Each structure stands twice: as C-alpha cells, then as structure tokens.
Structure 1
C-alpha cells in the first residue's frame, strides 16, 4: 500500500476532502484547518514541547512553524512534497521523508508529535509508536491526538477523495482513547496523561517510555 503522498496537493487543500475506508466509512477531513496557523486546540500540545520536537506527518507545518516561532527547535517530516513546500513557505524546517525510513540511527528528540490522527500512519500504531519511542532522548515524550472513546483500534485501508477525485489506497488506522493504553503498552509506552479539548472535542495524550516493556521477541527490556 502506498502512503497518501498527494494529501495536500493544490485543489485538495482548497476543496477539503474525505477519507474513505474499504469498509465504507467516510470521514470528513478539516484540511483547511490543518493549513491554517496553530489554533487553541493545539495549545496544550505545543505548551508541552519544552525541547527539540519532531512533528511526524507535519502536513503544511502549522505545529513546526508555531514551535519555531517560540524558539523551540522543531523539524517536520512528511511524505508529501507539496506539504513540505507549504510548511517551508510558512517558515517551518521540514523534510520530505517517510518516518519509517528514519530508523534507530536518526537524531534523538525531546518530543515527538503525532497530531491530526497521524498515529494511524502506516496502519500499525504499535509499530509507529515503537519507532517514536526509539527516537526519543532520555526523559522524552510522545504527544498524540486520538479519536474519541468508543473507536477502539480500527486498522484499515483508505483513500483520500478531494476535488481531483479519489487517490490511491493506503494503509491507515484509527486509534481511540479507549484503546490507547493497550496499544501504547505494546510499544513500550505508558499513558502519562490524557485530556479533552472541549471546544474542539479533541482528545489528546502524553506518552512516556515505560520502565520495562516487552521486546518484539518476547523478552522484557528495562
């Protein structure tokens, strides 16, 4: 499956769009909101970024740009060249890269951001969160947006449908707050805190590395 590289192509961002799953679900996507500057719903996440921050799936770069304006070193990564161009145009430092290509040899970060449902990138939140934990420096945190309670973990394939019609199918997942603790634990993370941004009905959480966690082969690491 491909990733949604054309997510922010001109025309899609102008007209908004929808995410269609193989199961027939349709999700409206607030693309124009994502293309705007960071808003009140982003503030609690931004306020917790006290050091170098990696913004995974940065899109047009509102979070990375907001952090840079606050004097926080931040890097956005996204597979869409158009998204990266938009991010750079607003002053964000951004890299056209698949996050899974970073690997353990990549630079370590004080915080990793997964906003706007980006915990679903690749269709495997455990794998993605495991990678995010590996990218953390000691004492670091992963900051995430999740779906409301009741969504559980939905693994699917999806396509973006915008003003230019449907795009290619790609692997995706939706992670609800009710499944976050179990998924995070499988990735060696604990849920330090979760909260609701009431004005936007947006659930967010801060994850920290667990003291001990199961490795992929079953051994326990500490």
Structure 2
C-alpha cells in the first residue's frame, strides 16, 4: 500500500446503491454538510459529456475509481483497451458483468502496466481519492507513460478542501463514527496549482453539461523506453473480483494481471 491512507468507501450503502442503480447516497462531512452522489448517472450508460471525454482518450486507458463501469464498458464496446480499478467489490463485479475489465484495487497499490498507460481518468469526484491531491498526482505520474494524458473532473467552483467524510444513505443519518475516510474536493484553479510541478504540464480545460474538466500531460522521464500495447487478454474473472494482493504486472499488456 501507499503511504497515503485510503480507507475504502465501499460500505454496504454504496454496494446497495450500485445493485439498485439509485440513491439517495451522500458524503457527509463532520459538520453535517452533505454532498449528494450521482448514483443514477453512474449506473446509466455513458452520456454525451462522458462520450466527449472518452473521445479525448489516447491508447490504453486506466479508469481510476471506475464505479459501476459505464466508461470502461463503453470503451470496451469501441474495442478500446481499458481497465477499471475500484476498492468496491460491488463496483468491480458490476463492471465485469457489463463486459468491462476491472480489478478490485486501490490506485496506491501495485497495478498492472505501471508506467505504460497512455491515459488515466479521474472522473465523478475521484480527485478526492485518499484526501491528498499531491500524493494522488504523484501516483498518477508513475502510472502513465511520459507524455501520457490525465483527464480529471473538477468541482465547478473555486474549491480546495480536504476533509474526513462518511458515506450515508439519508440526509439525517450520521453513519458509524469509524467509517470516516479522507476525501478532497478541487476546483480547476486548485488542481492546476497542485499540478504546477516538474511532473505535469497543463494541456486543456473545458466545461460541458455543467461539469468541469482538466487535461494534464505527464512530463515524467523514464530510464528506458516503453511501448504502448493495443490488445490484451481479459483478466481472470475470479481474480478481477477478489484480488486485493499486490502483484507484479506480467506480459506486455498493461491490463494483463494473472
């Protein structure tokens, strides 16, 4: 595991919401502030805004925090190489049932194809993973090829917040005290500040359908050349759903994870 503490938010309310395809579901801050989670949109097919994002993706795509897998399965339907990772067993199982490739894994754990992904996605609030944007950006730079593309969805407001939250089913439910986990919310300006390092350069930013996005390019140098892979065998379904162990990537494909 990484030095960053990333507590799984795959609690029963989240699994139940994915199974039914609907909320309500919230992230609750300690002061009672609530962030509604868009379960219905996540469980639906990729919409026009999603398709615009996917049209910008290059080569092999890693969807970090893939949820129920609408983006991974859309890419698979287009014969694009894509892998989703998520700490939620229910999310990974849902993605696999839809025909996408996914692993139950934290982004801070060893992953297949490290340093060989062309594109990484951080959508649907997943910039918040781990509650430490600098650590998350450092990790994404390790996963991408030099010159690789990161597409991140930001909060459509000038926000830079790092807090402990818990997942709750209803606005009046405080949830168990031991279920809190670190989370972050970043607007575009905040993300660009964190990305102002030798590892990244800003490539683009845009809004669509009330959502905001930033594209960054990795400037990480590596000691040896790496090749982009255009095909891969589907991972073993049992390993996809249950794996939490650290494994070394095998073969030439970034998705191969036996």
1:107–1:188 CA distance, 2 compared to 1 (3 A): closer
**Equivalent runs, 1:3-152 vs 2, <5 Å:** 3-6=8-11, 8-11=14-17, 13-102=21-110, 106=114, 108-151=116-159
- Correspondence for 2:210 among 182, 201, 213: 201
1:24–1:110 CA distance, 2 compared to 1 (3 A): same
* Cα deviation digits, residues 41-63 of structure 1 (max 9, x gap): 11221001121000000000111
1:160 aligns with 2:160: no
1:187–1:30 CA distance, 2 compared to 1 (3 A): farther
1:181 aligns with 2:192: yes
1:37–1:105 CA distance, 2 compared to 1 (3 A): closer
* Cα deviation digits, residues 89-146 of structure 1 (max 9, x gap): 1111000011100269735200000000101100011111111111111321101100
Structure of greater Rg: 2
- Secondary structure, in 3 states, of the residue corresponding to 2:201? strand
- Secondary structure, in 3 states, of the residue corresponding to 1:98? coil
d(CA) in 1 for partners of 2:154 and 2:103? 24
Structure 2 gaps of 5+ residues are 222-258
- Secondary structure, in 3 states, of the residue corresponding to 2:108? helix
* Cα deviation digits, residues 26-84 of structure 1 (max 9, x gap): 11111111011111111221001121000000000111111111111000000000010
Post-superposition offset of 1:205 = 1.2
- Secondary structure, in 3 states, of the residue corresponding to 1:106? coil
1:11–1:31 CA distance, 2 compared to 1 (3 A): closer
1:59–1:211 CA distance, 2 compared to 1 (3 A): closer
Asked if the contact 1:50/1:72 (under 8 Å) is kept, the reply is no
Asked if the contact 1:78/1:96 (under 8 Å) is kept, the reply is yes
- How many residue pairs get matched? 208
Q: Which has the higher strand share?
A: 1
> Please, what TM-score do these two structures have when normalized by structure 1?
0.86
1:122–1:159 CA distance, 2 compared to 1 (3 A): same
d(CA) in 2 for partners of 1:72 and 1:28? 31
Structure 1 gaps of 5+ residues are 213-222
Aligned-residue RMSD, C-alpha: 2.1
- Counterpart of 2:227 in structure 1 is none
1:75–1:181 CA distance, 2 compared to 1 (3 A): same
Asked if the contact 2:22/2:40 (under 8 Å) is kept, the reply is yes
1:50–1:210 CA distance, 2 compared to 1 (3 A): closer
Asked if the contact 1:3/1:171 (under 8 Å) is kept, the reply is no
